[in-house]
Structure formats: C-alpha cells, structure tokens
Structure 1
Amino acid sequence: LKETGQPSKEAFRKVASEIHQAFSQIGFVYLINHGISKEQASSIFQKSRDFFLLPLEVKEKYKRLPNHYDGYLSPDKEILQSGVQTEMKESYSIGNSESIFPSQEDAPGFKQTCLDFLSPCVALCRRFLVVLALSLDLAEDFFLKRHKELTKYKENPSSLRILYYPPVTNVTDPTTVRCSEHSDFGTVTFLFQDSVGGLEVKTKSGEWIPATPLEGAILVNVGDLLAIWSDGLYPATPHRILVPREETKKRCSRSSLAYFVLPDDIVMVEPLDGSNRFPTVNAAEYLSSKLKTVLTYI
C-alpha cells in the first residue's frame, strides 16, 4: 500500500483478498509496506512521551472539552467497560491543524510532529479504504465517498490519538487495567505500538490472545460501523490491555498511536446485504451515544 507509483489492479485485489481473510476470521490484520517510516513513528513517540511526563497541571491546560474530540484526557476520564473503576492511561487527540495543541513553550515541536505524522496516516487511510471496498466486492470508491472529510473536524471526527500508559505502582483495586475490554466505534483503526506490548484480542471462541507488536507493522482492526456495513462478516473484535503480571513490565511505561477512522457525520450506516440484523444508524449519532457511555466528564 505504499504510495510509490500506481499499484496494479492485481496487487490491489491480492491485498483485498488478504484483508478479507483476516477481517472475517479475527477482525484484525497486520499491515506492512505501508509507507510510514520507523523514523516518523519514533519522532512522535518521543515528543508525546515528553508531553505526558509534564506536570498534570500543565497538561490540564489543554484538556479535552465536552462535545469535542481533541485535546488531553487524564487518567479515569474514560472508562470503556462497566465494572472497571480505574484505567491507567492518558491520551491526547488531534484531528487537524485547528485542534487544541500545547504551546511551543510547554511542548516544543509537539504540534508540528503530530501534524507531520497525521498527514501520511490520512493518505494511507484513503488507499486502505479502496482495498477495503474491494475486499467486500464493492465499487472502489464506496468507502471513499463516505469518508470525504477526513481532515475536517466539523464534518468528520476521525482523529489521531496518542496514548500513554504510565508505570504501574501501588495498585490495590483488582479491576484496575490499562485499557478495559471494548470494540472501537468507527470504521477501522490503525494502531502503531511500541515494543512493550500488552494488547490482547478476543477470539470467536472467547480466548484472549496477544497482539504482539511487529517491528514496522501497523495493526488494523474493524470498528463497529464496519461490522454493521458488512452485516457482521467483519467482526468488531473486543480487545484490552491488562496490568502486566511481571514486575519488570509493570515498571515500564507503554505508548501507542491510534488513528481512528470514522465516516462523515451525515453518513447513514446499514448492512449492505439488506438484512435487518443491525439497525440503521447515523454515524455522528452513533459516536455521540457511545462516547456518553465511556467518558466520565460528559
């Protein structure tokens, strides 16, 4: 999927077939040769880690506001599963150049590094949406038409989310996790992991298996809306990140980058085979309803 010349139709269809196989079986796939360099990922990991190590009062200056998709979220502002009291993670979300960013004084180079990384993510997403359509025997532009405004926050909530999981110390609540069990809300998610690992994926049989980081690979997974479009053929597979059992891993922080791809706000999503297994939903309304259940500050 590298943007180096125009791949042949055969190449597109070969990748589409591989996507179909992985998505229909588990809802996740490793993507390689995607065109985003190791250096680009390393740069944003470093800049984001510098930001997350700032004092909380500094980070809170850029906190995410109700009914907004960008900005900083401190620990426990998002709980993804009922019954969980603590999720040990922080995040910072951006959608475009007009998003909330920390000042150059507080976080030198943070804004530009994020924007430099977001641009190739958007380009990769557009190429992937073509392959995704082919994997379901749809017109090449089916998903492109429904994700026209990827960089316009007022029309499309797709965003790059930088996640930081601090070292785990003095945990007494047995429900504490780094990220509780959930499925993603949109079309697909592109996940860049560091080498620490910890992500687990739930198989159809109910077994939890590790999604081990592969150097240079992006992990792509199906979101709820794609599951609806595909009438469940592509499942939105639950995943989680538990507190590590090993003391050495507990003392390690973890970082990841997630580019959440969602349809334009006006898009109506329904099963493409005409079934009534899933109800028709509006993309914006579906996201809003989901966020109200997981964000504790709304």
Structure 2
Amino acid sequence: MPLPPIPVVNYTDLTCAHPMRRQQAIQTLGQALETIGFLILDQGPVAPEVVRRAHQTAAEFFTLPDRIKGQYDADHYPGQGGFSGFGTEQAKHYTCPDLKEFWHVSYRSFEQAPAPWPTEVPQFRPIMTRLYQQLLACAHGLLEACALYLGQPQSWLADMARGGNTILRLAHYPPIPLGAPAGSLRAAPHEDINLITLLCEATAPGLEILSHDGRWLPIQATPGQIVVDTGDMLQNLTNGLIKSTTHRVSNPRQGNQRRLSMPFFVHPRPEIDLSPHAAFLERTGGQPRFPTMTAETYLNQRLAEIKVTPVG
C-alpha cells in the first residue's frame, strides 16, 4: 500500500479574506498536524531569493577553516547562538553523534551584545536577519491558524511565541567522512522539541518521516515551499491531540554530496506553562498524558538529553 502524500496548504488561503477558502485551509492544516504531524506550505511569505542567498551565505561560512569557525563556538556566547562543531549533537537514545555541524541564529542575537556574527562573511548577518524575520512572520500566521483549528482564540499560540527564543539553525551535512561509525546518520531519528518547525527547501534530499506502519517517507520541499512540523511542546500542550512525528536525515544513497538545511524552531517564552490544556483532555481520553512543566524546564531537559548547550 503506498504511503499517503503529505498535505499541501496554500498560505494565501490561510490568510485570505474569503471565509470558506480560509476555513478549508485551516481545516487541512489542522488535520495534517493532528494525523501526520507534517505538512507542506505553499506560497508562503518567505522570498525564494532570500532562501537562495541564505544557502549561498551559509555555504561560504561552513567552508571556512575549522579554526576560524571555532572562534564563534556557541559555548562562548551563552544564550546567543553561534557555531557548534561536527558531531556535537546526539539524538536521544542513540550512541553515535549526528554527522553535521550547525550555526544558531538566536532571537537574542538581535537583542544582546556581543552576539556572534562571522565577520569573515559580511553578508551573513543581513541575509540571516532577513530570513529570520520572514520565517517569524510566517510562523505567527501558522500558529494563528492552528489555534483557530483547536477552537482557541486566534492569538493563543502566537502570543506564547512572542519573545520566545526562536532559533534559526543553519545545518551543514558534509560528505560522509571515511571512518564514520557504523549506523551513524546525518540526523538520527528524533522529534523536535519546540512548538512548530519551519523548514525551507534543503540543497539535497534526506529528510524522512516515520509512518504509522514503520516505514520511512521521504519529504522534500521544492523552491518556494516550506515543510512544517509540530514539536513536542505543542503535543504536550494539546495532550497528544497534535502529533510530534519522528523524523531523520538519512545518509546519501547515491554519491556523497553535502547538504544544507535551515530549520526554524519556534519556541514559547520560558515561563509559558506547557501542561496539557483542559480544553483537550476530553478529546484525548479524559486524563493528562503528558507532564506539567514550563517551557524553560522542558527545553533544558531535552537539550541535556541531546548534548546541546542551552540557547535560552
């Protein structure tokens, strides 16, 4: 039996003034997140040219010598993002580190000094700032649509995210090195921690989601599209009504090309209570199925599990 296609939602329908078109798009979005945990967003507000230039700029940074990249190590800039070297992140329950390096553009990169911005790539800050701003606007529109699907006030989820330390991750997967540990992957199976994730098209395939019958479904956005998935925080808040789906980045099956991707992890403010909301208990069995804790506590626990320095 073929795997079901990932639903496609038109962003302009989500935000249009036509009530029926908008309601249908909201319903498609909500059902996708409730049943699959993933969707593809079309015609969003993120300019393809900005994405293209961001890929080009990120590639310029990641081709710098390791000694230069290491000057921007995230450990030197607590709470403000920066660079994390190859093999520093490890998925929960996995013994091999992921085969990637990455840079975090933190919300606090724009508010606090000295924030890490690589001077060797002058266009890095303006391009990544523009991409961050466009993705943030898109994310708020998606959170508003999701809140309406859940029967809550339109601003319910978007208000939680205002002022949260949302992260733009620039992820570089170099060619698989000789001697990589057996079983290691570019990104081992995991679920995202945050509320929702937006992922512009990557430069090479590899993203796969785990289907209900245990098979891996490849998913790849085309230029102008954004892959959207829901994270554990939204699953916790809705008592499991909205799914957080396991996904991975597989190693290349042909050739050994490098890969760049730019996930945008949308986080609530640290003090937000993620306890299962009473409105969803009846729809999910009547009892809380997920823990009671704040976003800050939840995030720090999860980051410790994957060996990543907190950015909030």
TM-based fold match above 0.5: yes
Q: How far apart are 1:139 and its partner, in Å?
A: 1.3
Q: Could you say what the CA RMSD is over the residues aligned between the two structures, in angstroms? A: 2.1
Q: Which moves more between the two structures, 63-72 or 128-137? A: 63-72
Q: Does 1:16 align with 2:26?
A: yes
Match of 1:176 among 171, 174, 184: 184
TM-score by length of 1: 0.90
- Structure 2 partner of 1:152: none
Question: 1:172 deviation in Å?
Answer: 4.6
Structure 2, unaligned stretches of length 5 or more?
Answer: 1-10, 282-286
Is 1:225 matched up with 2:233?
yes
Aligned counterpart in structure 1 of residue 132 of structure 2, from 118, 123, 140: 118
- Post-superposition offset of 1:297: 6.3
**CA deviation map 1:186-235 (0-9, x unaligned):** 10000112241111101122221111333321000010011112221221
* Amino acid in the other structure paired with 1:262: H
1:85-104 aligned within 5 A: 85-96=96-107, 97-98=110-111, 100-104=115-119
CA distance in 2, matches of 1:3, 1:90: 36
Pair 1:136-2:150 in alignment: yes
Q: Distance in 1 between matches of 2:121 and 2:63?
A: 10
Instruction: Render the CA deviation track for 1:8-50: whole Å, top value 9, x for unaligned.
Output: 4434322210111211221000001112121010010000000
AA at the equivalent of 2:210: K
Q: For the Cα contact (< 8 Å) 2:99–2:184, is it kept in 1? A: yes
CA displacement 1:42-74 (0-9 Å, x = unmatched): 010000000000001100111112853511010
Alignment counterpart, residue 62 of structure 1, candidates 42, 59, 72: 72
Is 1:38–2:53 an aligned residue pair? no
Q: Identity of aligned pairs, percent?
A: 24
Report whether the alignment pairs 1:235 with 2:243: yes
SS where residue 281 of structure 1 aligns?
A: coil
Deviates more, 1:179-188 or 1:1-10: 1-10
What is the match of residue 256 of structure 1? Answer: 261
State the SS of the aligned residue for 2:183: coil
Decide which moves more: 110-119 or 166-175. 166-175
Matched, 1:202 2:210: yes
Q: CA deviation at 1:178?
A: 0.4
Corresponding residue of 1:157: 165
Q: Say which is worse superposed, 182-191 or 88-97, in terms of deviation.
A: 88-97
Q: Which of residues 269, 278, 293 is equivalent to 2:274?
A: 269
CA offsets per residue over residues 146-179 of structure 1, 9 Å max, x none? 1221xxxxxx221111111001231352122101
Q: Is the 8 A contact 2:193 2:299 kept in 1?
A: yes
For each residue in 1:95-119, what CA deviation from the matched residue of structure 2 results, as whole angstroms up to 9, or x when unmatched? 2424633343x11210111101111
Task: Report the counterpart of residue 283 of structure 1 in structure 2.
Answer: 295
The answer for the alignment partner of 1:77 in structure 2 is 88
Q: Which runs of 5+ in 1 are unaligned?
A: 150-155
Q: How many residues align?
A: 288
Q: CA distance change for structure 1 residues 172 and 194 in 2, over 3 Å: closer, same or farther?
A: closer
Distance across 1 between alignment mates of 2:130 and 2:251: 32
